[in-house]
Every structure is written in C-alpha cells, then in structure tokens.
Amino acid sequence: MSTTAEPINRNKKFIDHLFKRCQEDKGFAARLRRANNPATEYQSWEVLGAFGVDLEKKHERQAYATVAAALANSRAQRNGSLTLGKAIAMSFPDGNEDKQAIARLRRLLACGSIPETCLVLRPLLSLIQSRVTQALDYEQLLGDLLWFGERTRARWAQQFYARSEQKEDNL
C-alpha cells in the first residue's frame, strides 16, 4: 500500500541527491544540464532511471528532466523556498503588474499537458535564474509538474498575484 508521503519523500531525496552530486561532480551537472534539450535529454536518463523514474512515461520523464536541468543550471547550493509564481513576478521590474510577466504566466497557465508545460517552462526557468538570486523550491516544482492540472495552475497564479508585505504596508 502506498501513501501520499512516498512521492514527496522520493522528490525530496531526488532533489537532495542532485544538489549533493552537482557540487561534487561537474560532469554529472553537465549531463543534467543537457536534459534541457530534447535531443540530448537521454544523457540524464541514467540518473533518472536510478531513482525509479519510468523513462517510458514521457510526462514523468520530462518533469524530472526539466527540474534536474534547472537545478544543475542554478547557482543554488541547496533547495530554496521561492515558488514558481513568485519567481516569475520577481523576474520583471514591475513584478506582477509587468505586461511581459503577465504574458509569460498566461502562456504557462494555458498549457494543457506536462510535456507542453515543460517545453514552456524551460526557457522561463533560465530567465528566472538569470534575474533572481533567491533559490527556487525545486522539490515543490517537481511535485507541481508531476501532479500538473487545474490546481497547479491556480496555485501558480495565486503565487504570482499575491501581494508582497511591502506593498500591503503602502496601501
């Protein structure tokens, strides 16, 4: 009998393992970075397969590969607490009122499948990492992708449009 804690625990172990190995082995990190490209994604399959990722299930494989590549491309030393929606807003000068930020979020929310979401998310994650210094919560992102649906999209929108404490003080 499986419990809801099993996938969460598996995701945490996966993320923790990736951070540790990326810091110790630059070749390992390079193989994971290649998962961003569908033509070279197979180079990450050794790592994914070792964690029990079903490589034949495209939606599962791509979710893990997308997060692994983003993690390997990041400057973070450990998992962060920054949510995806908030990170998108923080990537633009006017935050959640920026027209480009809103357009990026809307495109992401329009995705109807995990593979499409991963395709849209890859360049967005690169943009976030180039503009935001705070570390993403990769464990949460992986969970969101694996359970992608209406609730995930609603959570990302809620995170994006949430008012910051500083803005609330000025109201």
Question: What residue numbers bound the domain in which 73 lies?
Answer: 5-163
pLDDT of res. 165: 53
- Residue 144 belongs to some domain of the structure: yes
pLDDT of res. 8: 64
- Residue 170 belongs to some domain of the structure: no
- Residue 136 belongs to some domain of the structure: yes
pLDDT tens track for 149-162:
999 999 999 999 99
- Residue 171 belongs to some domain of the structure: no
- Residue 168 belongs to some domain of the structure: no
pLDDT of res. 132: 96
- Residue 90 belongs to some domain of the structure: yes
d(CA 40, CA 87): 27
pLDDT tens track for 34-81:
998 889 999 899 999 998 999 999 999 999 999 999 999 998 999 999
d(CA 120, CA 152): 15
Query: Band of the pLDDT at 9, cuts 50, 70, 90?
Result: confident
- Residue 169 belongs to some domain of the structure: no
The pTM (predicted TM-score) of the whole model is: 0.88
Domain count, the chain: 1
Enter the tokens of residue 161: 């449009």
- Residue 111 belongs to some domain of the structure: yes
pLDDT tens track for 30-44:
999 999 888 999 989
Report the chain's mean pLDDT, rounded to a whole number. 91
- Is residue 167's pLDDT more than 60? no
CATH at residue 68: 1.10.520.40
